């Protein structure tokens, strides 16, 4: 049981609501904006819509779980599944990540419209690596033993470093052939991905750095940090994918319909 005061409880409630509506709004926008890019770039927007739709669904489940886990008559949140069947379930986040993180990487490849062989090569390396990164992190996330957390954290870092290598070295080789401004935007996109992904290992390591998992302030900080990182990594990322698709479409002769 985590004992929150009214302000702490409302902060989490509101930030989860913000995450949910951000995902839903971005899903609608990327779907209705497809006519503004050439057909060959629409798959990237479909993938973006899938990412935010999946995330929106899981934020709805997280939101409901948080509300259900709140004990009546106060702001105490059940977090132990052994104590109550309606405990707050953060497992939804890992289910979301294992689905959406690979799709985020495929979005980048789809919007660049690389040659089939190059696209296939990047996808077959990035998708398994991203799934492995999330899957390897989960046992450490749910463990209360520091040694176990360190072990799975190190194992999860290996595919993460490989993803960085592919994004910055292998993918970088394909950017010289992109229209003006696209390479710079993709560069910012990669930095956005790294910056937002950086929030997750910080939250993961908080118990190792002496932060009590049952501390209300740490619990609030973790929920706020995860949600903001998700909004940036999915919504802002998806809107940037749309921007790249739009830039490439205009560069290839599509008329501006402003």
Render pLDDT for 80-135 as a digit per residue (tens, 0 to 9): 655 556 788 888 888 999 999 999 989 988 888 877 888 888 899 999 999 999 88
Residue 256 lies in a domain: no
- Note whether 234 and 52 are within 8 A (CB): yes
Residue 196 lies in a domain: yes
Residue 31 lies in a domain: yes
What does pTM read for this prediction?
0.87
E-strand stretches of the chain: 2-3, 76-77
Which residues, 6+ apart, have CB-to-CB distance to 226 below 8 Å?
93, 199, 200, 203
Q: What CATH number corresponds to the domain at position 95?
A: 1.20.1070.10
Residue 237 lies in a domain: yes
Q: What is the mean pLDDT of residues 23-33?
A: 95
Given this model, what pLDDT does residue 194 score? 84
Confidence of residue 143 (pLDDT cuts 50, 70, 90): confident
Given this model, what pLDDT does residue 82 score? 54
- How many domains, the chain? 1
Tell me which DSSP letter residue 3 carries: E
Residue 214: what are its φ and ψ, rounded to 5°? -95, 0
Residue 70 lies in a domain: yes
Distance in angstroms (rounded) separating the CA atoms of residues 74 and 157: 39
Range of the domain at 137: 2-251
């Amino acid at each position: 049981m985590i004992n929150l005061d009214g302000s702490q409880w409302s902060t989490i409630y509101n930030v989860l609501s913000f995450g949910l509506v951000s995902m839903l709004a971005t899903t609608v926008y990327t779907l209705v904006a497809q006519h503004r890019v050439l057909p060959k770039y629409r798959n990237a927007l479909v993938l973006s819509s899938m990412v935010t739709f999946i995330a929106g669904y899981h934020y709805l489940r997280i939101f409901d779980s948080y509300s259900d886990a709140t004990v009546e008559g106060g702001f105490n949140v059940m977090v132990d599944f052994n104590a109550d069947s309606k405990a707050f379930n953060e497992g939804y986040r890992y289910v979301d990540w294992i689905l959406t993180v690979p799709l985020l990487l495929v979005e980048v490849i789809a919007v660049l419209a690389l040659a089939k062989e190059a696209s296939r090569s990047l996808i077959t390396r990035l998708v398994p690596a991203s799934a492995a990164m999330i899957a390897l992190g989960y046992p450490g996330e749910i463990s209360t033993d520091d040694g176990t957390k360190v072990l799975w954290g190190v194992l999860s870092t290996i595919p993460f470093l490989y993803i960085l290598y592919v994004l910055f070295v292998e993918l970088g080789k394909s950017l010289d052939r992109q229209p003006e401004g696209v390479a710079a935007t993709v560069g910012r996109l990669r930095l956005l991905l790294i910056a937002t992904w950086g929030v997750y290992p910080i939250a993961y390591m908080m118990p190792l750095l002496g932060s009590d998992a049952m501390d209300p302030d740490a619990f609030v900080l973790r929920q706020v940090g995860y949600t903001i990182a998700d909004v940036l990594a999915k919504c802002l990322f998806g809107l940037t994918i749309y921007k790249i698709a739009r830039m490439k479409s205009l560069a290839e002769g599509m008329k501006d319909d402003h």
